[in-house]
Amino acid sequence: MGTAHCLLPTAYYLRPTASRATAKAENGKKKNHLPRQRQHQYLLTVMPSPLPFPFPELLLEKLNITSTVITRTTWVLTSTSTASNRLLLTIAATLVTLTVYALFKISLVVRQVHAARHRWLDLPTLPRHPIWGNLVNMGEKLNPSLNRHPDYGFVEIWNALDQPDAYLMDMLPLDNCFLVVAHPSVAETLVQPSPAYKYSLPKSDTIKTLWRLIGLESMIIVDGEEWRSLRKRFNRGFAPAHLHSLAPLILSKTRIFINRLKAVAHTKATFMLKDFAQDLTTDIITELTVEKDFHAQSTPDGQGHKGPLGMLTASRLLSGLTYPLGRGVGWHLVDPIRPVRAWFYEMVYNRELGKVVGEQVAAEQGGKRAGEGEDKKEEDQERPTQTQTQQKSITRLALSGMIPNNALLRNTVSQIKSFLFAGQDTTATLIQWLCFELSKASWSDRHAEILRKLVAEHDAVFGKSEDPFNALDVLGRGDDEGRRQAETILGSKLPYTTAFIKETLRLHPPASTVRLIPEIGPENPVPVNVRVRDMKNGGEKEINVNGLRVYVAAYLVHRHKGIWGEDADSFRPDRWLDDEYMSKLPSGAWRPFERGPRNCIGQELAMLEAKIVLCAVARAFKWEKVGYSGRKGVDGQLPKGDGSDDPEMEVWSISNVTAVPLGGMEMKVERR
């Protein structure tokens, strides 16, 4: 017949009839007005499907799609068909194919959503839309336009549900369902090791959105034996004994911090405490990890490492360019410039850190400090030397005995990025909240009494002196006896100072953990179940949580009145010194650094820095939070974040990867 075939990869196609005579016979006496070259009839022929899924005939029947518009169509065209006809037929076939495929995929999603919602019917949750689940009512609480941390929205939902041990956030069909945990017993079940999960449940895949900031191979991201190997390598550097031996470095940087505070106290200028605290913690963590002083506290903005292409600038900008977890759907998801800027600053960051880590490898291999030279003599004179501390940096300890190669360097850069982010960000946030709680003593009698107890402890331990900074001298003695004395003081002689810090972390936790519980399958055959309070029938019930993402909300756990009492929202350090009260707290009630095998590796360092800073400033300065007196504030009052909040209410947190104080904590200080 001389036909030319144009085939499409489909299961159904139309074929020409055997002859024109047959076609005429079938058409009877009807006159065909079509051009001669188009007088062809086509019969539907069903062929086996070559596609990777079965064609949903049942779905087509339910949708009443007739066989004449079946999508996956292969047209056999005659040589006399025109090019325009072939194009139109191809376009039509493609569109119908895509339509039915889309309907098929939608049917799968509908079945999955229905199954998931039926599976977790017993979990408390807000009323759900039949299609969008909790995306609408949850979005009202977690709207990115609200100038507040998502935790405040979680608290509002928790209160609306009568404060269950855990509740469900149905984010289907756009994302997984989330389990928000508000009780420590549930949290402990999920973060502690088990026979099925030796190092506790894996981290959520959402944490990978931070990879440019903390590195793809970061121990914050990886799981299993890979995580265990990294944690074991770096544990030595974060051991309490090693950190206490490096206290002279911390003290030397704290003195610069104090000098900056003295300067603004003298001029009575307002300043952003965030900048001062972040510069301090940056100088400390870089010294301890890579023996490198970036002079964050003494370098003006726009110069050196704070310049447009500086490492400190790159690291801090990356925090704002990463995906803001828990902030919903916003412009950041489609901003075309954002990923380009993130890539550029990551390149700047990695380049500088690669050099520094290379120097550490060379120093460890050569048995001497990295980067020694004429340009470093002045720097080395200003700080305790390797001989004085008798210790290596955290990085050198981790590299000890290892054979250097590109893979090791790349992996180490990821770990250092993680330490620099956590070491400067969360500890700087803690320092801001410590000073904020000190500022309340100027207008609150209760807080004035708290400050009096804190000052009394410092006078007793360091001696009452006309010099309010004498704690730095006592803790900074360089002889062996002085170092032992400093370690004893910081370790066990400051109970009220420690209680002050713990209470600050209880009310203002910087971060929480998110885990992803795998579905039950060949690789994960053991179900993960948790016991929660039965809100309907009383008592407890067991629920299966496989397939859920889990957010252990430290903010909710720390302010749970059923655990901490009616004053759970109040700042009361004395609770930590009440043995009877503390004995009644359930395990895991306090978790600012999380718990279990994957707790924060740097928690001892954060506590050490906080103690030194608090000892240095408590007796020396009066703090004032600019624009806030707190007289109208109510403990536990939740911010709306929509611009209608009273400025006199409690200062709140916003989300910038972690929870950070609103507005950078603008302050004034004066000497006592």
3-state secondary structure 138-170: HHHHCCCCCCCCHHHHHHHHHHHCCCCCEEEEC
Question: What mean pLDDT do residues 430-449 have?
Answer: 95
Strands 549-552 and 178-181: parallel
- Please give the pLDDT value at position 369: 45
pLDDT recorded at residue 13: 34
Clarify whether residues 492 and 614 are in a common domain. Answer: yes
117 vs 165 pLDDT, higher one: 165
What pLDDT, in 10s, does the model give residues 294-325? 999 999 988 988 999 898 999 988 888 876 55
pLDDT score recorded for residue 175: 82
Q: What is the dihedral of CA 247, 250, 251, 255, to 10 degrees?
A: 180
Tokens of 189: 């079940």
pLDDT tens digits, one per residue of 141-157: 988 788 899 999 999 99
b/e for 407-430, b at 16 or more Cβ within 10 A?
A: eebebbbbbbbbbbbbbbbbbbbb
Q: Residue 61 pLDDT more than 70?
A: no
542 membership: H or E segment, kind and range: strand 540-544
Mean pLDDT value of segment 174-188 = 93
Q: Does the pLDDT value for residue 16 go beyond 60?
A: no
Going from the C-alpha of 114 to that of each of 120, 121, 131, 167, 172, the distances in angstroms are: 10, 11, 9, 19, 10
Q: What is the DSSP string of 582-620?
A: HHTSPTTS--TT--STTS-TTHHHHHHHHHHHHHHHTTT
Last residue of some domain: 71, 86, 116?
A: 116
Give residue 105's pLDDT band: very low, low, confident or very high (50, 70, 90).
confident
Is residue 140 a part of any domain in this protein? no
Could you tell me if residue 150 is inside a domain? Answer: no
Separation CA 13–CA 75 (nearest Å): 6
Q: Which of 55-64, 253-262, 335-344 has the lowest mean pLDDT?
A: 55-64
273: nearest Cα among 633, 556, 661, 641: 661
Q: How confident is the model at residue 45 (pLDDT cuts 50, 70, 90)?
A: very low
* pLDDT greater than 80 at residue 206: yes
User: Of 116, 132, 164, which residue constitutes the final position of a domain?
Assistant: 116
Q: Which of 20-24, 453-457, 603-607 has the lowest mean pLDDT?
A: 20-24
Regarding whether 597 and 519 lie in a shared domain, the answer is yes
- pLDDT above 60 for 68: no
Same domain, residue pair 321 and 221: yes
Considering the domain architecture, whether residues 78 and 190 belong to the same structural domain is answered as: no
Q: Binding-site residues, please?
A: 600
Structure-block tokens of residue 592? 């600012």
* 618-642 mean pLDDT: 85
Question: Counting beta carbons within 10 angstroms of the beta carbon of residue 292, is it exposed (0 to 12), middle (13 to 18) or buried (19 or more)?
Answer: buried
CA separation for the pair 487, 489 (Å, rounded): 6
pLDDT surpassing 90 at residue 577: yes
Paired tokens of 411: 């992996």
Q: Torsions phi, psi of 647, nearest 5?
A: -65, -15
Residue 163 in domain:
no
Alpha-carbon torsion 68, 72, 78, 82, what sign? positive
CATH of the domain at 483: 1.10.630.10
Question: Is 77 in contact with 86 (CB distance < 8 Å)?
Answer: yes
Do 370 and 449 belong to one domain? yes
Higher pLDDT: 348 or 645? It is 348
Write down which residue in 116, 142, 157 finishes a domain: 116
Residue 179 main-chain phi, psi, to 5 deg: -105, 115
Question: How far is it, in rounded angstroms, from Cα 416 to Cα 464?
Answer: 40
In a domain, 503, yes or no: yes
Predicted pLDDT of residue 653? 92
DSSP state of 543: E
* Assigned domain for 347 exists: yes
Whether residues 226 and 91 fall in one domain = no
Average pLDDT rounded to a whole number, residues 400-406: 86
Give me the residues paired with residue 621 across strands: 671
One domain for residues 99 and 202: no
528 shares a domain with 660: yes
Report angle CA 276, 279, 283 to the nearest 5 degrees: 140
Per-residue pLDDT, 162: 94
Question: What is the mean pLDDT of the segment spanning 77-92?
Answer: 71
Same domain for 371 and 228: yes
**Segment 263-272 mean pLDDT:** 96
Residues 85 and 201 in one domain: no
The total of structural domains in the chain comes to: 2
Strand 178-181 vs strand 12-16: parallel, antiparallel, or unpaired? unpaired
Most confident of 315-319, 467-471, 484-488, 575-579: 575-579
The most confident of 160-164, 378-382, 479-483, by mean pLDDT: 160-164
Report whether the peptide linkage leading into residue 173 is cis, meaning its omega lies within 30 degrees of zero: yes
Does the pLDDT of residue 19 top 70, yes or no?
no
Residue 348 has pLDDT above 70, yes or no: yes
Q: What pLDDT, on a 0 to 100 scale, did the predictor assign at position 374?
A: 44
Query: Domain for residue 506, yes or no?
Result: yes
The answer on pLDDT for 546 being more than 70 is yes
Kindly state whether residue 144 falls inside one of the protein's structural domains: no
Q: What is the mean pLDDT of the chain?
A: 83
441 and 551 co-located in one domain: yes
Distance CA 134, CA 140 (A): 10
Contact status, residue 552 vs residue 513, Cβ threshold 8 Å: yes
Please list the alpha-helical segments (H only) found in 390-405.
Answer: 394-399
- Can you give the pLDDT at residue 9? 36
Same domain, 326 and 439: yes
The predicted model gives 56-76 an average pLDDT of 45
The pLDDT confidence band at residue 67, using thresholds 50, 70 and 90, is very low
Domain that holds residue 492: 185-671
- Reduce the DSSP state of residue 255 to 3 states and report it: helix
Task: Indicate the angle between helix axes 406-439 and 603-617, nearest 10 degrees.
Answer: 40
| Token pair for 536 | 């309907």
Domain contains 161: no
Stretch among 74-78, 305-309, 648-652 having the lowest mean pLDDT: 74-78
Mean of pLDDT values over 345-365: 88
Q: Which two tokens stand for residue 485?
A: 């004395």
Q: How far apart are CA 558 and CA 569, in angstroms?
A: 9
**Secondary structure (DSSP) of 471-540:** HHHHHT--SHHHHHHHHHHHHHS-HHHHHHHHHHHHHS----EEEE-PPSSSS--S--EEEEE-TTTSSE
423 confidence band (pLDDT: 50, 70, 90): confident
Residues of each annotated binding site for heme? 600
Question: What does the pLDDT average to over 561-581?
Answer: 97
- Please tell me the distance from the alpha carbon of residue 315 to that of residue 425, in angstroms, as a whole number: 11
pLDDT confidence of residue 650: 77
Kindly provide the residue ranges of all beta strands, DSSP E only, lying in 383-479, ordered along the sequence.
none
**CA–CA separation, 155 and 22 (whole Å):** 76
